[in-house]
Amino acid sequence: MSEAGTLAVELSGITKRFPGVVANYNVSLRVRPGTIHAVVGENGAGKSTLMKTLYGMHQPDEGSIAVGGRTVAFKSPTDAIAAGIGMVHQHFKLADNLSILENIILGNEPVGRRGRIDASSAKARLAELAASLGVSFDVDDLVGTLGVGERQRVEILKVLYRGAQILILDEPTAVLVPQEVEELFATLKRLVAEGRTVIFISHKLDEVLRYCDEITVMRQGTTVATTTPSRVDRRGLAELMVGSDLPDPSGRETPIGSDVVLSVHDLSVAGASAGAKLALEEISLSVHSGEVVGVAGVEGNGQFELCEAILGLMPLVSGRVEIAGHDLTDVETRERITSGLSYIPFDRHREGLLLDAPLWENTMLGREDEPGLTSGPFIGRRKAEADAREIIRRFGVRTPSEQVPAFALSGGNQQKLVVGREMATNPKILLAAHPTRGVDVGAQAAIWEELRHARDKGLGVLLISADLEELIGLSDRIVVMFDGRITAELDPRRATPELLGTYMTGEIQDREAAR
Amino acid sequence: MKNQRLQRAMVTAASSVLAVIVALAISAIILLITGKDPVKAYSTLFGAAGESRVLQGMANRATPLMISAAAVAIGFKMNLFNIGVEGQMRVALLTTAVVGAAVDLPPVLHVLFCLVVAMTAGALWAGIAGWLKVKRNVNEVISTIMLNFIALSLVAWAFDDFFRVESATESLLVKTKELPKSAWFPDLVDRRLNGMFIIAILVLVLFWVVVWKTKFGFRLRASGGNSGAARATGVNPKKMILISMLLSGAIAGLVGMRALLGDVHAYQNNLAEQQGFNGIAVALLGRNHPLGIFFSALLFGFLGEASGKLQLEDIPKEITTIMSGIIVLAVVIINEAVKRWDDRRIQRKAAAELESEPKSEVES
């Protein structure tokens, strides 16, 4: 905590607008030098936008940035790097076919005589840096041969090599297993001990409380509090993140139905590359009519593959999928959809919307075979438009008309449109992946209300969410996925975010799969 | 509500017109540099627009351009870049010339038979690229370019070794056996405008109906617009790739039919050469829309037809070729700029119309 007087980074009154959206509003962040400072918040709270501002990837509309007490205006990341700021992205930007050394000096090569790369001086500097980090590896190894944790350290070394005094790490632990997390923080501790400063973006409360010196909480685009681990506990931090007025979704009046609307048996799906371990390993679960089954898990533990497998978009290694009592393991996606399956996709832009197409075409997507929307091989444009207006009205999508292209809507309204489309078919089973991700509180409440309403009328929901309050509030049962398997089944009335968190990281596993 | 669509269409059309105007201006500068009088050149060029002979020639030249642009555009709608129209056309030309001359059918039926043969041959050749993409994920740009070379050589070899007939009267021109008169596509205006013009317009109308008005077309556009979303809603992307490649190839098969059935009546080297490639530029200028393609094809047809007039005025006719090239470049640049501006305009407008109840939303 040297030079306690000047702050390493001070952001004041930062506001950043995107068309139709305020991503950051009046944000203030004060980071003292020589500390690990966590910036926490839910998905969509504006953390990444803020860090992009600090790293010069875009310019704030209002507010000022000061680094080391000096006011700066970064036009690009190059300016930020020159000011001693380095960023380690969540998705590594490394070339597999180059060595560690080559990756690190890439774009910043030490030039020796006659324009040659002076590898030996780079090596010497690197050895010094690696020693101070307490890591050791052969810098001539290809990056392609490294594990995830090692790659991350290469990224950190790369940033340090460029002289960074302030490091921004964007959700660095999202891709790490627990032991690697421990190693990462050991590295970061050494960095701050040398006087560097670390800004650590996360939404995982445990590691933030365990390892960080100070915590700034963001919610809905603005900073709501700055605190320290000694002054706040997990519950308090969670409340700061989600806001105190959590809607209480628990009280249900209708009983769960007796028919099984979705059941999967021993579902296994191959990993991304040949020889990799299974992405899904013998998953069995069932959802009854009128029941919400929550799926908890750190992203990338098989939730996406589970949805794809149920939809029939991914080849199965083994297993069976039944929807409303019919074995649909071998039929095409479209037939599963017409049998009563609906899907709110993980990423509305990638899988949910035709951004350039008008809203009425978007609400027709996947429903072209409904007799209400088409006549023979032709699109029934008037009918489709009327149907779109009905969805817009029922789900409160804020738009001038159904002729507007989807890209003109804000994220929350786009999401409401997707939810509306998927509910419009009166499905029997809904796969809802992050149904309220990145939407404002109003839209979130509206979507929850619709889900509850449909559930009361007999809809079965498989709810995948990173928002643990949403999971606990809406679900009748929660299963935890870890490493492609279901490792626990919990009663939401007894589950807390803390408990879920321990299951999600794989620290405890109720149902050890036979190995 | 309808206005909004009309507005977008107007903006699109205006940006293409702007591109043409920019191209004319740049060409004028080139003329000035080379010491020619641009005013004289343009008045000669556009003065020709009054002559019915020129207009007929324009429509005749536009015929294959419309068809090949439609072939390219249907691929574009699915995000497939079929550069192989030239090769598909060439395979279809020789196949139709040989098969058409070998059968004996009554007049109208014979022509229809030839068109079906041409479409089948084109579709099969394009199908190779589609199959490679679906089965082996081979980029269709690469495979169609390579298939162009293969088609060119394959057709030249087959023609030389098996199908050429030495003509007694024109000893320098080797052709295949001439098609019987029943297979000839009649002219609308004798020796000036062939009836294939009607077929070209029919192709554009069908293209419009299928792509914009049918469920199949909607799935095609959805797959092209966002393959992830189309896939998640049950549109089989591989099937769509194969079908759109086959369709594109079938249309490509028709490109050379004006030259074959309406003009030469036999296959010869260089028949309809380049017409498959020129369709790419026409589709680009026409923004892959049938109406746009119709007018762009007429424009390119006109430039080609009127260029002869320039020579009479001692202005090199190559200026029209330069102009065509600049038009294409200008279209690419201006369309992109206009699209960005228009997207922002629509976004702002939608936001402004909702201003009554302001509320901030958070985007991740």
Neighbours of B136 (CB within 10 A): 8
Banded model confidence at residue A248, pLDDT cuts 50, 70, 90: low
**Record: contact B363-A337, CB cut-off 8 A:** no
- Please enumerate in sequence order all residues whose Cβ is within 8 A of that of B35, keeping only pairs 6 or more positions apart, or say none: none
Q: Report pLDDT for A347.
A: 87
Is pLDDT above 50 for B359?
Answer: no
Q: A93: burial class by Cβ within 10 Å (0-12, 13-18, 19+)?
A: exposed
* Chain A: closest CA distance from residue B233 (Å): 5
In this predicted model, what pLDDT tens digit does every residue of B9-39 receive, in sequence order?
888 888 888 988 998 899 899 989 988 888 8
Residue of A nearest to B347 (CA): A408
Is A246-340+427-515 in the same CATH topology as A9-242? yes
Residues of A in contact with B363 (CB under 8 A): 18, 21, 23, 44, 49, 410-411, 438
* Chain A: closest CA distance from residue B271 (Å): 38
Q: Report pLDDT for B355.
A: 57
Residues of A in contact with B218 (CB under 8 A): 361, 364, 368, 379
Q: What is the mean pLDDT of residues A25-49?
A: 87
Banded model confidence at residue B356, pLDDT cuts 50, 70, 90: very low
For residues B265 and B184, the answer to whether their CB atoms sit within 8 Å is yes
**Record: contact B361-A369, CB cut-off 8 A:** no
Q: Report pLDDT for A9.
A: 93
**Window from A69-78, A323-332, A436-445 with minimum mean pLDDT:** A436-445
* Partner residue facing A20 (CB), from B231, B235, B351: B351
Domain chopping of chain A, boundaries? 9-242, 246-340+427-515, 354-425
Is pLDDT above 70 for A246?
Answer: no
**Record: contact B229-A365, CB cut-off 8 A:** yes
Q: A392: burial class by Cβ within 10 Å (0-12, 13-18, 19+)?
A: buried
Residue of A nearest to B219 (CA): A365
Query: Which of B344, B362, B364 should one mutate to test binding to chain A, selecting the residue with the greatest count of A CBs within 10 A?
Result: B362
**Record: contact B363-A437, CB cut-off 8 A:** no
* Partner residue facing B350 (CB), from A313, A366, A408: A408
**Record: contact B362-A403, CB cut-off 8 A:** no
* Chain A: closest CA distance from residue B74 (Å): 17
Q: What is the mean pLDDT of residues B221-225?
A: 92
Banded model confidence at residue B362, pLDDT cuts 50, 70, 90: very low
Residues of A in contact with B231 (CB under 8 A): 313, 333, 351
Interface predicted TM-score of the whole assembly (ipTM), two decimals: 0.85
Banded model confidence at residue A510, pLDDT cuts 50, 70, 90: low
Q: Rounded to an integer, what distance in angstroms lies between the CA atom of residue A66 and that of residue A211?
A: 25
Mean pLDDT of chain A: 85
Banded model confidence at residue B358, pLDDT cuts 50, 70, 90: very low
Q: B75: burial class by Cβ within 10 Å (0-12, 13-18, 19+)?
A: buried
Residues β-bridged to residue A287: A262
Is pLDDT above 70 for B6?
Answer: yes
Is pLDDT above 50 for A359?
Answer: yes
In this predicted model, what pLDDT tens digit does every residue of B330-343 receive, in sequence order?
988 888 888 888 88
* Partner residue facing A377 (CB), from B216, B347, B350: B216
User: What domains sit in chain B, N to C, each tagged with a CATH number?
Assistant: 58-301 (1.10.3470)
**Record: contact B219-A368, CB cut-off 8 A:** yes
Is pLDDT above 90 for A236?
Answer: no
Residue of A nearest to B360 (CA): A22
Check residues A233 and A178 and name the one with the higher pLDDT. Answer: A233
Q: Report pLDDT for B231.
A: 92
CA–CA–CA angle B147, B153, B155 (5° rounding): 95
3-state secondary structure of A114: helix
In this predicted model, what pLDDT tens digit does every residue of B270-293 receive, in sequence order?
899 999 999 999 999 998 999 999
Query: Which of A365, A374, A447 should one mutate to test binding to chain B, selecting the residue with the greatest count of B CBs within 10 A?
Result: A365
Overall fold of domain A246-340+427-515: Rossmann fold (3.40.50)
Q: Rounded to an integer, what distance in angstroms lies between the CA atom of residue B13 and that of residue B292?
A: 8
Neighbours of A56 (CB within 10 A): 22
In this predicted model, what pLDDT tens digit does every residue of B311-332 receive, in sequence order?
888 888 888 888 888 988 998 8
Q: Rounded to an integer, what distance in angstroms lies between the CA atom of residue A332 and that of residue A412?
A: 31
Name the nearest CA neighbour of A505 among A271, A207, A59, A138: A207
For residues B275 and B89, the answer to whether their CB atoms sit within 8 Å is yes
The token duo for A492 is 């939401």
Banded model confidence at residue B361, pLDDT cuts 50, 70, 90: very low
From its phi and psi, is residue A170 left (phi > 0), alpha (psi between -120 and 50) or beta?
Answer: beta
Is pLDDT above 90 for A17?
Answer: no
In this predicted model, what pLDDT tens digit does every residue of A172-209 receive, in sequence order?
887 676 677 888 898 899 999 989 999 998 877 778 89
* Chain A: closest CA distance from residue B11 (Å): 15
In this predicted model, what pLDDT tens digit does every residue of A293-310 receive, in sequence order?
999 987 778 899 999 999
% chain A with pLDDT above 90: 38
In this predicted model, what pLDDT tens digit does every residue of A362-411 receive, in sequence order?
999 988 888 888 888 899 899 999 999 999 998 888 888 899 899 888 77
Q: What is the mean pLDDT of residues B125-141?
A: 95
**Record: contact A19-B364, CB cut-off 8 A:** no
Overall fold of domain A9-242: Rossmann fold (3.40.50)
The string of DSSP codes covering A462-515 is EEE-S-HHHHHHH-SEEEEEETTEEEEEE-TTT--HHHHHHHHTTS--SSPPP-
Q: Report pLDDT for B117.
A: 98
Banded model confidence at residue B66, pLDDT cuts 50, 70, 90: very high
Residue of B nearest to A345 (CA): B232
Q: Report pLDDT for A357.
A: 92
Q: Report pLDDT for A274.
A: 67
Name the nearest CA neighbour of A503 among A297, A271, A320: A297
Banded model confidence at residue A512, pLDDT cuts 50, 70, 90: very low
Residues of B in contact with A23 (CB under 8 A): 362-363
Q: Report pLDDT for A515.
A: 31
% chain B with pLDDT above 70: 94
Residues of B in contact with A375 (CB under 8 A): none
Is pLDDT above 70 for B168?
Answer: no
Residues of B in contact with A355 (CB under 8 A): 225-226
**Window from A6-20, A336-350, A376-390, B132-146 with minimum mean pLDDT:** A6-20
Query: Which of A242, A354, A401 should one mutate to test binding to chain B, selecting the residue with the greatest count of B CBs within 10 A?
Result: A354
Full 3-state SS string of A173-215: HHHCCHHHHHHHHHHHHHHHHCCCEEEEEECCHHHHHHHCCEE
The string of DSSP codes covering A239-300 is HHHH-S---------SPPPSSEEEEEEEEEE--SSTTSPPSEEEEEEEEETT-EEEEE--TT
Query: Which of A362, A378, A402, A413 should one mutate to test binding to chain B, selecting the residue with the greatest count of B CBs within 10 A?
Result: A378
Residue of A nearest to B364 (CA): A44
Sheet architecture: strand order including A485-490: A341-344, A429-433, A460-464, A292-296, A477-482, A485-490
**Record: contact B362-A411, CB cut-off 8 A:** yes
Helix axes B196-213, B52-76, angle to 10 degrees: 30
Q: What is the mean pLDDT of residues B59-76?
A: 96
3-state secondary structure of B242: helix
